[in-house]
Homo-oligomer: A and B are copies of this chain.
Amino acid sequence: MKKSQVTIKDIARQLGISASTVSRALQNHPDISQETKQQVSELAMRLRYQPNALALSLKHRRSKTIGLIIPEIVHYFFSSVISGIEDVAYEAGFTVIICQSNEKYDREVANVKTLMAQRVEGILVSISKETNDYQHLHDIRSSDTPLVLFDRMVPGLLADQVIIDDREAAYRATRHLIEGGRRKIVHFAGPQNLLIGQQRKEGYLQALREAGIAANPEWIIEADSFEKARNAVFRLLEAGSLPDGIFAVNDLTAIGAMKTLQKKGLRIPTDVAVVGFSDGRFSGITDPSLSSVDQHGYEMGTIATEMLLKRILSKENEYPFETKVLHADLIVRGSSS
């Protein structure tokens, strides 16, 4: 049987004084005599008194807690975002409650409910791949709980957002391939209901357009995993329409393509140049090493949290919503040069 932890009342009882006095003594209130303060803090120490954060939250109507909803922790990008979030929240004395949506809409809605019930003071979310309805996010807003979206944004939502410039990064990646003399560049694209999927495709298209290369719809293939890339490459090989460049929506997809091509005897980057979009620590360990876009996950986490805390801590949080666009760097490595 779990014995409940020691409370202010326990201290009061043992010292024969009231709970109020104990409370004030612990807060070093001037009304309390040095002697009493001494006794109280000593006993508190001995009993390992820990203020009950729940009671405090209830009393102060401030939980000092923020919520995080993230698609899947097991991705290098997301987990580095979490690190950024944790660090600045911790610094500000906030506790983070992390929920995974597992890329499921239903779970995401449930997560929102949990966090609201816990009375978190603000919520950070990166929506799941499935999410098309945003009612639950509007619900957050209409309860006046600050909300910041990161990475996967929702256009038109009245909330702060921080994203990377996916379009531009994709544009630069594709342009880099073009400048390397590639003409027939295939894009392995992500889900098109996610803005990042759309943006990366657009950047790709823009680069082609500017270079005067006609975009071929057959060069855009929805494939965002190692396996899908492998299958797509097989089909390209069978069709005999081999590209000389590939821009993939993430690293694992790029690597899937690369390894499959290599297995078929093609040389990277001589025959086909490949560029990915960073979601892991893979870039350095493939052969050749993989050119990729660095998304600066940790930084995104810190910035998003700072925006959230600013909203939480400002009494007059009636300043306009902001969308911060982070710069992403193209890191050129062996797979494309």
Contact = CB atoms under 8 A, between A and B. Distances in A.
A53 to B, nearest CB: 4
Contacts of A282: 281-282, 285
A113 B75 CA distance: 29
19 contacts: A5-B116, A5-B119, A50-B117, A53-B118, A55-B58, A58-B58, A73-B79, A73-B82, A74-B80, A74-B82, A75-B79, A86-B99, A97-B97, A98-B98, A226-B284, A262-B287, A280-B281, A281-B282, A282-B285
A139 B287 contact: no
B117 A52 contact: yes
B98 A96 contact: yes
Contact of A286 (B73, B287, B317): B287
Nearest to A62: B2
Stoichiometry, as copies per complex, reads 2
A315 interface: yes
Interface of A: 1-5, 48, 50-55, 57-58, 61, 63, 72-76, 79-80, 82-83, 86, 95-100, 113-114, 116-119, 121, 139, 143-145, 226, 252, 255, 259, 262, 280-282, 284-287, 315-317
A57 B75 CA distance: 33
Contacts of A281: 252, 280, 282
A119 B73 CA distance: 25
